[in-house]
């Protein structure tokens, strides 16, 4: 991947806005710089604006205002077929009456490539997606995963500047979806193409991306590397949307250099990292990932503690989910590895749960403005 700090952005969205009815903005103010070879995912719930941004980049939707540049050149008024962009859709979009070879040859033929170049390229990309022996088959004779690999090869074969992927794995079952995630990443690392990927699947985004832009109500709430989004969400929406999060409500009682002290509604004083809520007297929600919440004996007297009663446990294979409830009715979940450390608890048994201050954050909801 290109170094964002040292390279001029290859793709730029600058103050991009989109409205369909001239009243409500679907995309409110989208700014994003993408390095050449980077894998960027646009992640968010349905209707959050992510697919609209993809369609504006492809040229299938007009911008209401703002600008999109590829390699320093504005493409805002350039026709879709002149943008040199490849696309992969959920439903494959392969020609059913053409063989795999003919499907892959098609984008090269319309670009008037010589026949020998086309044949060599088709062999190369069929081999790349491990379907060289299937070239004379039709799409209907393939599995869903094989068809998606052909669709990916067809999007790459003409060496596009950018490849756009709109929920490309949505039609596949869980096992096949996971296999295709690694297949796409393998090809991305091998060929170095730039990817803008749209999904609402958080696990998919965390697995594949160099950076993720999290959308909500037409606004990017945070754009960062997967581990940053998960470990240091910018606000409560990101914490809720990326992974699972325990939430304890309280009021900020003191502000320190890196942390804040929070008086919990359920009682007790705890410490959490500063995030987007840092003023004394403000209500806040302390977010803690289930795998960071532990049973007291593991942490001794260090860190934060809260008392909760055991409700139930769920066996999930490699780990066990323990469900608790505090005195004020707050539900808490602890993820514990399924090993000898997994405790046996009785119904309604009261347990002290603990976590380190650096494993929690004091958060608030994002401020949503309407430009």
Could you tell me if 285 and 326 lie in one domain? yes
Q: Are 250 and 291 in the same domain?
A: yes
SS3 39: strand
Same domain flag for 195 and 279: no
Cα–Cα distance for residue pair 342/323, rounded to 1 Å: 13
Task: Give, to the nearest 10 degrees, the angle between helix 144-156 and helix 174-191.
Answer: 20
pLDDT digits (tens, 9 = 90+) for 14-50: 999 999 998 889 999 999 999 999 999 999 988 889 9
Boundary (domain end) residue, out of 218, 236, 254: 236
pLDDT value of residue 58: 94
Question: Of the residues 199, 216, 236, which one is the last residue of a structural domain?
Answer: 236
Q: Do both 250 and 227 map to the same domain?
A: no
pLDDT at 3 over 70: no
Assign residue 198 the CATH number of its domain.
Answer: 3.40.50.300
- CA terminus-to-terminus distance, the chain: 34
Q: Does residue 371 form part of some domain?
A: no
Pick from 226, 221, 153: which is nearest to 190 by CA?
Answer: 153
Question: Is 83 domain-assigned?
Answer: yes
Is the domain of 267 the same as that of 357? yes
In a domain, 369, yes or no: no
Supply the range of the domain harboring residue 215.
11-236
Please compute the mean of the pLDDT values over residues 53-72 and round it to a whole number. 94
Task: Let me know: does 140 contact 96? Beta carbons within 8 Å.
Answer: yes
Q: Between β-strands 294-295 and 350-355, what pairing exists: parallel, antiparallel or unpaired? A: antiparallel
Task: Please give the mean pLDDT across all residues of the chain.
Answer: 89
Within this chain, do residues 224 and 262 fall inside the same structural domain, yes or no? no
Residue 371: burial class (beta carbons within 10 Å; 0-12, 13-18, 19+): exposed
Residue 299 has pLDDT above 60, yes or no: no
Tell whether 258 and 174 lie within a shared domain: no
C-alpha 165/C-alpha 196 separation (Å) is 6
Which of 204, 236, 268 lies at the terminal end of a domain, its last residue?
236
Contact 363, 277 (CB under 8 A): yes
CATH of residue 287's domain is: 2.40.50.100
Same-domain status, 64 and 202: yes
Q: 83-97, 190-204, 319-333 — which is least confidently predicted?
A: 83-97
Most confident of the following: 89-93, 141-145, 303-307, 321-325: 321-325
| Range with the poorest average pLDDT among 292-301, 329-338, 352-361 | 292-301
Same domain, 168 and 53: yes
Q: In the numeric block, which tokens belong to residue 88? A: 């992969």
Domains contained in the chain, number: 2
- If asked whether residues 111 and 259 sit together in one domain, one would say no
278 and 194 belong to one structural domain: no
Is pLDDT at 337 greater than 90 in this prediction?
A: no
Q: What is the pLDDT of residues 202-211, one digit of tens each?
A: 989 999 999 9
Whether residue 368 lies inside any domain: the answer is: no
Give the pair of three-digit tokens for residue 364. Answer: 């608030």
Question: Quick check: is 1 in a domain?
Answer: no
pLDDT in the model for residue 39: 97
Structure tokens at 149: 């690999």
What stretches of the chain show up as alpha helix (H) in DSSP? 50-58, 100-109, 115-128, 144-156, 174-191, 202-208, 226-231, 236-241
2 domain residue, yes or no: no
- At 338 the pLDDT is 84
Distances (CA, A) of 322 to 244, 249, 280: 14, 20, 33
Asked if residue 74 is part of any domain, the answer here is yes
Same domain for 150 and 292, yes or no, is no
């Amino acid at each position: 991947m290109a170094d964002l700090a040292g390279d001029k952005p290859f793709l730029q969205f600058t103050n991009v806005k989109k409205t369909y009815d001239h009243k409500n903005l679907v995309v409110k103010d989208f700014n994003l710089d993408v390095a050449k070879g980077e894998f960027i995912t646009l992640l968010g719930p349905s209707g959050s604006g992510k697919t609209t941004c993809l369609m504006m980049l492809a040229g299938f939707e007009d911008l209401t205002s703002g600008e999109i540049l590829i390699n320093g050149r504005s493409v805002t008024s350039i026709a879709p077929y002149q943008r040199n962009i490849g696309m992969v859709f959920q439903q494959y979009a392969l020609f059913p009456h053409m063989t795999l070879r003919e499907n892959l040859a098609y984008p090269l033929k319309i670009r008037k490539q010589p026949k020998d170049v086309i044949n060599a390229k088709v062999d190369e990309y069929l081999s790349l997606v491990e379907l060289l022996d299937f070239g004379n088959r039709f799409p209907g004779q393939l599995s869903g995963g094989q068809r998606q690999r052909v669709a990916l090869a067809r999007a790459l074969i003409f060496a596009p500047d950018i490849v756009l992927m709109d929920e490309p794995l949505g039609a596949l079952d869980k096992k096949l979806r996971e296999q295709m995630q690694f297949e796409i990443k393998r090809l991305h690392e091998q060929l170095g193409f730039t990817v803008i990927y749209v999904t609402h699947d958080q696990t998919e985004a965390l697995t594949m991306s160099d950076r993720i832009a999290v959308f909500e109500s037409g606004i990017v709430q945070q754009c960062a590397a997967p581990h940053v989004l998960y470990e240091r969400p910018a606000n409560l929406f990101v914490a809720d949307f990326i992974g699972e999060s325990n939430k304890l409500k309280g009021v900020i009682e003191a502000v320190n250099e890196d942390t804040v002290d929070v008086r919990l509604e359920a009682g007790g004083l705890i410490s959490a990292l500063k995030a987007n809520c840092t003023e004394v007297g403000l209500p806040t929600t302390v977010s803690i990932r289930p795998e960071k919440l532990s049973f007291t004996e593991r942490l001794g007297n260090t860190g934060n503690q809260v008392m909760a009663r055991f409700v139930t446990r769920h066996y999930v294979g490699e780990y066990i989910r323990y469900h608790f409830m505090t005195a004020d009715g707050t539900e808490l979940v602890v993820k514990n590895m399924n090993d000898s450390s997994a405790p046996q608890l009785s119904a309604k048994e009261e347990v002290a749960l603990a976590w380190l201050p650096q494993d929690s954050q004091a958060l608030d909801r994002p401020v949503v403005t309407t430009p």
